[in-house]
Amino acid sequence: MAADGRQRLTGLKPHLAPDAKLLVLGSFPGVASLQAQQYYGHPRNQLWRLLGDSLSLPLAEADYPSRLRLLLEHKIGLWDVISETQRQGSLDSAIREPRPSDLLALLAGLLELRTIAFNGATAAKIGLRQLGAAADNYRILTLPSSSPAYTLAYAGKLAAWATIADDFDGSSYE
C-alpha cells in the first residue's frame, strides 16, 4: 500500500469470445466490482441496463453468469483499458500509476471486431492513446460513463449508448 492509502489493485480478465464484434472498454473496476470479481458489480452502475436497453437484451434482470453468457452469444466483449493501478475508492480521478492493458495484443486475436465502445471519457482517453493508429480500423464510440458518479440523467446516457445498436440485428452483433 502506498503512503497515501492507495493499494495496488489488479483488474478483471477480459470476457469475450474470439468472434466478438463489439468490445466495451471501461477504465478500471470499482471497489464493488473487484470485491465481487464481476464487471459492473456496483448495484447502481447502469452498464447492464444501458447495454440491455440499447440492444434489446435482458441483461439488467439476469444474474451475472447469464449476463456473461448473453454477451458471448451476441458477440460482445468486456474489458478495461487499465490492468493494474493504485487507487483509494472507486473514482477514476483517484487512479494513480496505471498500468495499461495490452489492447493491441487483444485486438490482434479479434479478427471479426468492428466496434470499440469506451465506457466514459477516462477509458476513451487512455484507450485511444494505447490504440494509436490501430483505432482507424474500428468504429470508435466514446459513451457517457455508466458509473453512478456520472450524473447525466439515464435518458441522456441511453440516447448515446443506443448508437451501439446501429450494427446489431437482435440475434447477434452482426
Q: How far is CA 146 from CA 48, 131, 150, in A?
A: 9, 22, 7
CB 9 within 8 A of CB 86: yes
> Per the residue annotation, which of 45, 119, 146, 147 is the catalytic one?
45
How many Å apart are CA 45 and CA 150, to the nearest integer? 10
Run of H or E including 83:
strand 82-87
> What is the per-residue pLDDT for 31?
86
Among residues 3, 9, 1, which one has the least CA distance to residue 95? 9
Q: What nine digits make up the cell of 119?
A: 465506457
pLDDT in tens, 147-161: 988 889 999 999 999
Return the higher-pLDDT residue of 169 and 146: 146
- At residue 170, does pLDDT exceed 60? no
Pair type for strands 82-87 and 139-143: unpaired
What pTM value is reported for the model? 0.92
Domain residue extents for the chain: 7-167
Residue 172: what are its φ and ψ, rounded to 5°? -160, 160
- At residue 70, does pLDDT exceed 90? yes
Pair type for strands 139-143 and 96-100: unpaired
Which CATH number describes the domain made up of 7-167? 3.40.470.10
- At residue 168, does pLDDT exceed 90? no
CB 44 within 8 A of CB 150: no
Q: What nine digits make up the cell of 23?
A: 468490445
Return the higher-pLDDT residue of 41 and 173: 41
Is 137 among the catalytic positions? no
Return the higher-pLDDT residue of 30 and 63: 63
How many Å apart are CA 152 and CA 159, to the nearest integer? 11
> What is the per-residue pLDDT for 95?
76
> What is the per-residue pLDDT for 3?
53
Return the higher-pLDDT residue of 25 and 95: 25
Pair type for strands 22-26 and 115-119: parallel
Mean pLDDT of the chain: 91
